[in-house]
Every structure is written in structure tokens, then in C-alpha cells.
Amino acid sequence: MATLFHLALPCVSINKTKIFYKEVLGAEIGRSSVKWADINLFGHQITFTECGPFKFDSKSYNFNGDILPSFHFGVILKEDGWNKVLERLKSQNAPILSQVKFLENKTGEHRSFFVKDPNDFTVEFKCFTELSDIFNG
């Protein structure tokens, strides 16, 4: 069994959150109730719990000239899966915050795009040129 990742996050609206992850991203909704839901995001479990308004005070940072939010999460996909998710989002006119190539011609070269969910979380999708470079460089 491959190791799976779990992340628990607060949310403002469990219904809007479930709609975004299922309808927009194509993720599966797992166990859920009126105030929480497990989301299967490419085999990883994200548990959202409705708690009302919340605020994370996180600053952005500069990475090779690109401004990135210091608080974000996401998945690493192979190129074909990455392209499918990107095309899915574009076909639904989902706002893509940015699409960038990082570390071009260097170890760890990868492409990323970022979207916001209904809770104002930034979700990143990465695709490495060489999958073996995920932790190298």
C-alpha cells in the first residue's frame, strides 16, 4: 500500500466545499455529515469541518520572481493527469490564479497552477519534468 496523506481544514460552508471539490475538481466525496466531509483528492484524504468564518494570517513569499502564498496545499500529478485537471478547470471557466514553470532547466523543474477553493484556500497542482526530482535539488 502506498502511503496516504490526511489533512484537516476548517471551512465556511460544507455544501460549497463539497460542490467545488466534486463538481469543479472531480474529486470523490467520502464519509460526510451536515458539518464535515472527507474529500478523496487523488487518493489523499482532506477532511473539511464547517466552523464559520476563520482567518489564517500568512504572508506570501517570492520564489524565483513568482509571488506564492505561504499557506497552500496540493497534489503532484503525472503530466497526463495534470493536463486533464487543467483542461477540466479551463472548460468550466474556473479562475486559475497562475500557471508557472519553476526551476526551468534545473533539478526539480516543474509546472504548477493554482486555484482557490470556496474557503479561500489556495490549491496547487504540480507536474515534475522528472518525477524522481521531487525531493532533489
Q: What fold, for 60-133?
A: 2,3-Dihydroxybiphenyl 1,2-Dioxygenase; domain 1 (3.10.180)
Contacts of 84 (CB under 8 A, 6+ apart): none
Strand partners, 38: 47
d(CA 8, CA 58): 18
Q: Same CATH fold, 60-133 and 6-50?
A: no
φ/ψ of 83, rounded to 5, equals: -60, -40
Q: How confident is the model at residue 71 (pLDDT cuts 50, 70, 90)?
A: confident
Alpha carbon of residue 101 to chain centroid: 16
Q: In the 8-state DSSP scheme, what is residue 105?
A: T
Share of the chain above pLDDT 70, in %: 99
| pLDDT above 80: residue 87 | yes
Task: For 4-63, write each residue's pLDDT tens digit.
Answer: 889 999 999 999 999 999 999 999 999 999 999 999 999 999 999 999 888 777 777 777
Supply the pTM of this predicted model: 0.87
Taking the domain 6-50, which CATH number applies? 3.30.720.120
Domain ranges of the chain: 6-50, 60-133
Supply the pLDDT for residue 137.
Answer: 60
| pLDDT above 60: residue 1 | no
